[in-house]
Amino acid sequence: MATNGQKDVPVYPIRTVARLTGVSDKALRAWEGRYGLITPARTTGGHRLFSETDIVKIKEIKRMLREDGMSMTGVKQLLKGRANG
């Protein structure tokens, strides 16, 4: 069983994350750059690396957008509220 620290270790490249979450790499890049919803780590070469914690967050964002029908703005506000409180 992974400890909390291990869940935060960025090891998954974007293609793997896209496959595991069902969210395209293009969408993941937009969620990072355009919307600021996720912040993956970067290798020295600039490649994105995601942790298990990031994957859980991505799946949650996907659910909020697709199943709950939330807007991108609504998701961003909800996540910001959680981070602040």
3-state helix vs strand vs coil in the chain, percent to 5: 60, 10, 35
- Domain span at residue 54 reads 4-80
Asked whether residue 42 is domain-assigned, the answer is yes
> Domain total for the chain?
1
Asked whether residue 85 is domain-assigned, the answer is no
For residue 1, CA distances in Å to 6, 15, 26, 49, 55 come to 9, 24, 31, 21, 17
CATH code for position 8: 1.10.1660.10
User: Which pLDDT tens digits describe the chain residue by residue (85 residues)?
Assistant: 455 668 899 999 999 999 999 999 999 999 999 999 999 999 999 999 999 999 999 999 999 999 999 999 999 999 988 888 7
Asked whether residue 58 is domain-assigned, the answer is yes
Token pair listed for 27: 């969408």
